[in-house]
Amino acid sequence: MGIAFAKTPKGHDEITTKAGGLSPRVRRVLIFVDGKRTVEDLRGMLQSDDLQHTLGMLEEEGYIELASVTNAAGKPVAPQVPLASITAFGELPASPDPVRLQKARNFMSNTLNAFVGALGNSSLLDRIEQASGHAELRAMYDEWYHAIVMSREGKREAEGLRSKLLAVI
């Protein structure tokens, strides 16, 4: 299945004005989004280890939107259910779940320690341990992901780690 994104009016404005303050790397991804290229096409064209995260951020901030979905033969298909944002957090339970919160804390801390090391991330590790709820952990998600992607080993494992964290956060 191939998924293609297209720029929204906000995305076109960003290309023209640079008003959104996107980093050069994120802006480059936005430039290549054209409504025809699939995510896999973009992955082959861009040297971005965190392409899925970048596309998700652009989608969530309103720069791009889903343009089309194609099957393996390249024929357009209508999704049976609306597709969620590719970095969308799952629904939280109605009442706080301390076990799930601790799992998310442990996962974030353990992956930072394993792939990055505690020395350069002690501030982030402290904030993760002090987080009183999922909302606080979710606010640290981008910082956690960036730290993981910036490490040599983490770069290779980033997509799998991202998926596992999104399942509990």
User: pTM value?
Assistant: 0.54
| pLDDT single digits (tens) 124-167 | 899 999 998 888 888 888 888 888 877 878 777 877 888 888 88
| pLDDT single digits (tens) 103-126 | 999 999 999 999 888 777 888 899
* Residue 93 placed within a domain: no
Work out the burial of residue 27: count CB atoms within 10 Å of its CB; fewer than 13 is exposed, 13-18 middle, 19 or more buried: middle
Whole-number percent of the chain with pLDDT over 70: 88
* Residue 82 placed within a domain: no
Asked if residue 46 and residue 8 are part of one domain, the reply reads yes
DSSP 31: H
Work out the burial of residue 28: count CB atoms within 10 Å of its CB; fewer than 13 is exposed, 13-18 middle, 19 or more buried: middle
Asked if residue 68 and residue 115 are part of one domain, the reply reads no
Distance CA 83, CA 135 (A): 23
* Residue 114 placed within a domain: yes
Q: Which residue range forms the structural domain that includes residue 41?
A: 2-77
Q: Is the pLDDT of residue 12 over 90?
A: yes
Tokens standing for 49? 């280890």
Q: Is the pLDDT of residue 11 over 80?
A: yes
- Tally of structural domains, the chain: 2
* Residue 123 placed within a domain: yes
Asked if residue 119 and residue 68 are part of one domain, the reply reads no
* Residue 88 placed within a domain: no
Helix (H) or strand (E) holding 20: none
